[in-house]
Amino acid sequence: MNSAKELFQQKLNGKFTDLFLLENSDIQLAVTNYGARMVSLLLPGKHQKKVDVVVGFDSLDQYLQASEVYHGAIIGRYANRIAHGKFSLQGEDYQLPINRYPHHLHGGPKGFHSKVWNVENVNTNTITLSYYSPDREENYPGNLQVNLIFSITGNQEVILDYKATTDRTTIINLTSHPFFNLNGQGTGSILNHLLEISSDHFNPINQTLIPIGTQAVDNSPFDFRKSHRIGERINDDHQQLLYAGGYDHNFILQGTGFRSAARASGDVSGISMEVLTDQPGMQLYSGNFMKGENTIKNGFRDAFRTAFCLETQHFPDAPNHPDFPSVVLQPGEIFSTRTMYRFFPG
């Protein structure tokens, strides 16, 4: 990715964009400050052949022109959906932009994925980025200061540390949105990837993908407590799969604190990935809306179900569900969370 660095160097909305490479003997992670996104992640596969497990683009222009705007990006202020873009906070009603009709999705059309983040510090193993979200940006209340650190370790780990503060009561739900193919970008379907999720319950959805409560995973295609192929039951005649066109659901994670949430492995490369987080939920997305409309790195297409996402998060539409874990951030509090992707070679 060093040779492509100049393809990410532009002035956008008055700020400069660039591409940054973090690397050690095992990992090479490329990050751009446009959307604070992962562009590529090279890992050793079988016979030590490097495998790029993150779907991304070759240039900033391709990210700007893509029909899929979330590849690899940090999502905020609120990851996932808010029903009809409406919520109430401290007796005041808020209307957010509707960008995935009829709902608000991933912070709105001008969410954090579309911003040029400030580069505070960078070295071979870490990059620190920040973004200041002013009061009423996308109509969210409060001036929000967000700080993010990407780190890599010698144990083939990629770590994301988030912190945020506000000067006014607001809501917040941040996540990272890398599209993974553990066999390598451009190698085809992810349906034969094995997946295990530490979850006894998930949030069932209505036909517009808004949660309608919680449901046990028992005796359903949503039971990943033991390892299953992603595609093993994806075409079952199950109403939840029909609503979403596959998996696009929040799984309620077992336990609390920083713990293992999921493990996936590529059937060809043998590369495995463990996801660890302190968040209460994780969205499994099976690439249902990928249509091959975009040319990704090295001339490949983002074809149907050629990547999957595991987005650590609070629950979708939580501001409208008092029984869900709170997403309210008060002045004087610090929003702090960590997610780790730990890889095991093929």
Catalytically active residues are: 177, 311
Nearest to 302 by CA among 69, 3, 112: 69
Rounded Cα distance between 79 and 89, Å, is 18
Rounded Cα distance between 99 and 97, Å, is 6
Secondary structure (DSSP) of 255-317: SSSSEEEEEEE-TTT--EEEEEESSSEEEEE--TT--S-SB-GGG-B--TTS-BEEEEES-TT
Cis amide linkage into residue 77, ω under 30° from 0: yes
Q: What residue type is assigned to position 7 of the chain?
A: L
Rounded Cα distance between 22 and 187, Å, is 24
List Cβ neighbours of 242 (8 Å cut-off, separation of 6 or more): none
